[in-house]
Amino acid sequence: MISENIKKIRERMEEACRRCGRNINDVKLLGVTKTHTVETMEEALRAGIEYIGENKIQDAVKKIPELKEPYKEFHFIGHLQSNKINKLMTLRPHLIHSLDKISTARKLNNYCEAKGIKQNILVEINTSGEETKNGILPKDAEEFIGALLENNNLKIKGLMTIGTRTEDKEEIRRCFRQLREIFEDINEKFGLEMDVLSMGMTGDFEIAIEEGSDLVRIGSAIFGKRNV
């Protein structure tokens, strides 16, 4: 039951917040609906999910316009390909979590400039160092964000990472702690006011909250196994 699952997740989020003296209202729950049907998404929205995330533009453009239940925000969490920017932008994403290429950022910026809009974005950082993962390496984060700042129609809201796939809780914690440190360094270095740390998924969201996550992205713990 989706509503039961959501209730359990919120309880676990609350417990994690309690352990580290944080307020549950400061941590957003993004329901990751990738591979799930419009009906399932509507069920989650009725059960109190307000923010929804998809990782494939071709799926999102099919499903999001079909939703009959209201949602507060749509987030794009997948890898952004520059040839799909126009399609994605028709969905008016509240936040794009996954910018990691300057050429794509420039194209997105040009699109926004032409439309007279600003787009909230996060920069994806590869804190695990796994080669299969997208994202900017930690050592390159400062230079990348320095270059991004020239794109006046992009609003840099924060950073995102995907934790290492491992049973080793301390290694996962290290990834999240590193993201938080990069976040603080960059805010200071560039005088930015980034306020979103997007980290934590089904397997590791409690550690992420303890390390300062503002936004957890939860799929399987709400919707069960994905339909691939």
Q: Which of 6, 65, 68 is nearest to 32 (CA)?
A: 6
Q: Which is nearer to ligand PLP, 45 or 218 (CB)?
A: 218
Alpha carbon distance 226, 228 (integer Å): 6
**DSSP codes of every residue in 75-121:** EE-SPPPGGGHHHHHTT--SEEEEE--HHHHHHHHHHHHHHT--EEE
Task: State the nearest-atom distance from the C-beta of 103 to ligand PLP, in Å.
Answer: 21
Q: Which is nearer to ligand PLP, 68 or 225 (CB)?
A: 225
Which residue in the shown chain puts its C-beta closest to ligand PLP? 219
Task: State the nearest-atom distance from the C-beta of 219 to ligand PLP, in Å.
Answer: 3
Amino acid identity at 150: E
Q: Which is nearer to ligand PLP, 106 or 133 (CB)?
A: 133
Q: Which is nearer to ligand PLP, 93 or 219 (CB)?
A: 219
Task: State the nearest-atom distance from the C-beta of 185 to ligand PLP, in Å.
Answer: 23
Q: Which of 222, 208, 213 is nearest to 122 (CA)?
A: 213
Alpha carbon distance 107, 93 (integer Å): 16
Q: How many contiguous H segments (helices) and E segments (strands) does the chain have?
A: 9, 8
Q: Which is nearer to ligand PLP, 135 or 212 (CB)?
A: 135
Task: State the nearest-atom distance from the C-beta of 34 to ligand PLP, in Å.
Answer: 6
Task: State the nearest-atom distance from the C-beta of 141 to ligand PLP, in Å.
Answer: 18
Which helix (H) or strand (E) element contains residue 5? helix 2-19
List interacting residues with ligand PLP (CB under 6 A). Answer: 32, 34, 55, 77, 162, 201-203, 217-221
Alpha carbon distance 120, 89 (integer Å): 12
* Tokens standing for residue 11: 């309880």
Alpha carbon distance 119, 91 (integer Å): 12
Q: Which is nearer to ligand PLP, 34 or 107 (CB)?
A: 34
Task: State the nearest-atom distance from the C-beta of 222 to ligand PLP, in Å.
Answer: 8
Neighbouring CB atoms inside 10 A of 103's CB total 8
